[in-house]
Amino acid sequence: MTNHLQNKTFSVHTLGCKVNACESEAIKEMLRGCGCKELPFGETVDIVIINTCTVTNIADRKSRQMLHRARTQSPDAVILATGCYVQERSEEHRDDVSVDVLVGNRRKGEIPSILNEVFTNVAQGENGPFLYVGEDAGLKAYEDLPVTHQQERTRAFVKVQDGCNQFCSYCIIPFARGRIASRKLDEVAEEVVALAASGVREVVLNGIHLSSYGLERYSVSEQAALCVNQGELPLLELVRRVAATDGITRVRLGSLEPRIMTENVVAELAKIPKLCPQFHLSLQSGCDETLKAMNRHYTTEEYREVVERLRKHFPDPAITTDIIAGFPGETEEQFETTVAYVREIGFAQVHVFPYSRRKGTVADRMSGQHTEAVKKHRASIIAEAARETMLVYRKKRLGSPLEVLLEEPAVIDGIDCFTGYSREYVPVAIRKDTFSEELVSGSELTVHGTRLLDDGTILVG
């Protein structure tokens, strides 16, 4: 077949999670390999790809807006929509003039061949939209989308897992992403070696449900046993293998399920020197009644025990999380319990989301739905409590050694600085005029912070 992609220009815009970002990088690499030239999103190009998200109503709206913007910016381009919004709502786009091609999840690796086919069809006078969206039953096998090079970056996100079997009552993602599936360990290792060769120093392991890495080969009862210290999680083997890569100095984990962080798992993780002491433990609510309604499989006491366990094995780790505000049926008292729990745990950072009603989920059919005003108000209160705990955590870091991986220069309050992140994922800015040696992206320094800026960045010098 003729390569219709040779010398075509393209741009990619990504919405949503870090897994989407990983997949977008892979799509870019594949298209460049077909002879395409990448241009920034917003410029007039031959192909525009929007990698969509559907986790909230706002994500849906942003996905639609970006598709319409792409058509306005490049009226003659082939507009390709992919991702979770497409997987769940492809039928809504059949009459949308903004979209030419719809590609579902676990078919993103086919995008170059799909585009080639589309250009052939268009040349023969066929009109879109062209649909390449499989049913839920097809979302089983892991789709390998390797990335071998990250331009001018010190940190790389590596996708190792897809899908989710949890079916939390508020979440549409198990339907959009399918069942759990994991990448082969050797393939992850090969990608990490290539990334290290390109200059990457920190690898962040990501998945839709990272805690399920490798668990699809076990029965439900065997999976449960693994989570109560009766075996070793495949995730541990993955972290050890990645950490053993020459050139990689840091390994960071994406969002984790609290239930897997047993005494054995935490103790074994603590033996891996390159593992960053930042743990994103998904919480969603600090109230047991709400957690049960959400179909989360732990209590606040169990969560508290995990936090204590991490603080026992790691010196002052950063505990970060997500919280949903205004879940259906959440009373004022239950909400206040969550706010108090946020302060008690002392999170280093919290991502707060007003509950988003998703058609097809259990929570959508629950009584006690709150107004948008109530949800936003509760989210703002939690966010303020979370900011307080974040500042407390970062103030404690002042004067203590911070191992910083430098990323890029920046001007802060009119001062030339070089910015980066500590192993705890605290943003750090180093004043150039107070450092005798040259500051270079990718280098690592041990520094001592002098003051905390309003945005929570630690300033050095």
Across 34-38, 55-59, 148-152, 222-226, which has the greatest mean pLDDT?
34-38
CATH fold of 401-460 reads: OB fold (Dihydrolipoamide Acetyltransferase, E2P) (2.40.50)
Residue 284 is predicted with a pLDDT of 98
Read off the pLDDT of residues 62-87 as tens digits, 9 standing for 90 and up.
Answer: 999 999 999 999 999 999 999 999 99
Read off the pLDDT of residues 369-414 as tens digits, 9 standing for 90 and up.
Answer: 999 999 999 999 999 999 999 999 999 999 899 999 999 999 998 8
Average pLDDT, the chain: 92
- pLDDT band, very low/low/confident/very high, at 32 (cuts 50, 70, 90): very high
- Does the pLDDT of residue 363 top 70, yes or no? yes
* Sheet strands (E) in 53-143: 78-83, 101-103, 130-132
Closest listed residue to residue 280, CA positions, set 250, 252, 309, 320: 320
- Does the pLDDT of residue 230 top 60, yes or no? no
Question: Percent of the chain scored above 70 by pLDDT?
Answer: 96
Residue 267 is predicted with a pLDDT of 95
- Contact by Cβ (8 Å): 361, 170: yes
Residue 152 is predicted with a pLDDT of 62
Rg of the chain in Å (alpha carbons)? 23
- Contact by Cβ (8 Å): 168, 129: no
- pLDDT band, very low/low/confident/very high, at 136 (cuts 50, 70, 90): low
Higher-confidence position of 58 and 283: 283
Q: What's the Cα-to-Cα distance from 111 to each of 24, 195, 198, 215, rounded to whole Å? A: 11, 23, 25, 28
Sheet of 427-431, strand order: 444-448, 401-412, 415-422, 427-431, 458-460, 451-452
Higher-confidence position of 231 and 6: 6
Q: Would you list the domain boundaries of the chain?
A: 9-134, 155-394, 401-460
Residue 428 is predicted with a pLDDT of 97
Read off the pLDDT of residues 11-21 as tens digits, 9 standing for 90 and up.
Answer: 999 999 999 99
Residue 205 is predicted with a pLDDT of 98
Residue 97 is predicted with a pLDDT of 80
- Does the pLDDT of residue 422 top 80, yes or no? yes
The predicted model scores a pTM of 0.92
CATH number of 9-134: 3.40.50.12160
| 349, containing H or E segment | strand 349-354
- Does the pLDDT of residue 161 top 80, yes or no? yes
- Does the pLDDT of residue 356 top 80, yes or no? yes
Question: Percent of the chain scored above 90 by pLDDT?
Answer: 81
Q: How far apart are CA 172 and CA 174, in angstroms?
A: 6
Q: What's the Cα-to-Cα distance from 325 to each of 170, 279, 364, rounded to whole Å? A: 12, 21, 15
Residue keyed to tokens 């191992």:
403
Read off the pLDDT of residues 197-226 as tens digits, 9 standing for 90 and up.
Answer: 999 999 999 999 999 999 998 877 776 666
Residue 146 is predicted with a pLDDT of 86
Out of 38-52, 121-135, 318-332, pick the least confident: 121-135
CATH fold of 155-394 reads: pyruvate-formate lyase- activating enzyme (3.80.30)
Residue 229 is predicted with a pLDDT of 58
- pLDDT band, very low/low/confident/very high, at 137 (cuts 50, 70, 90): very low
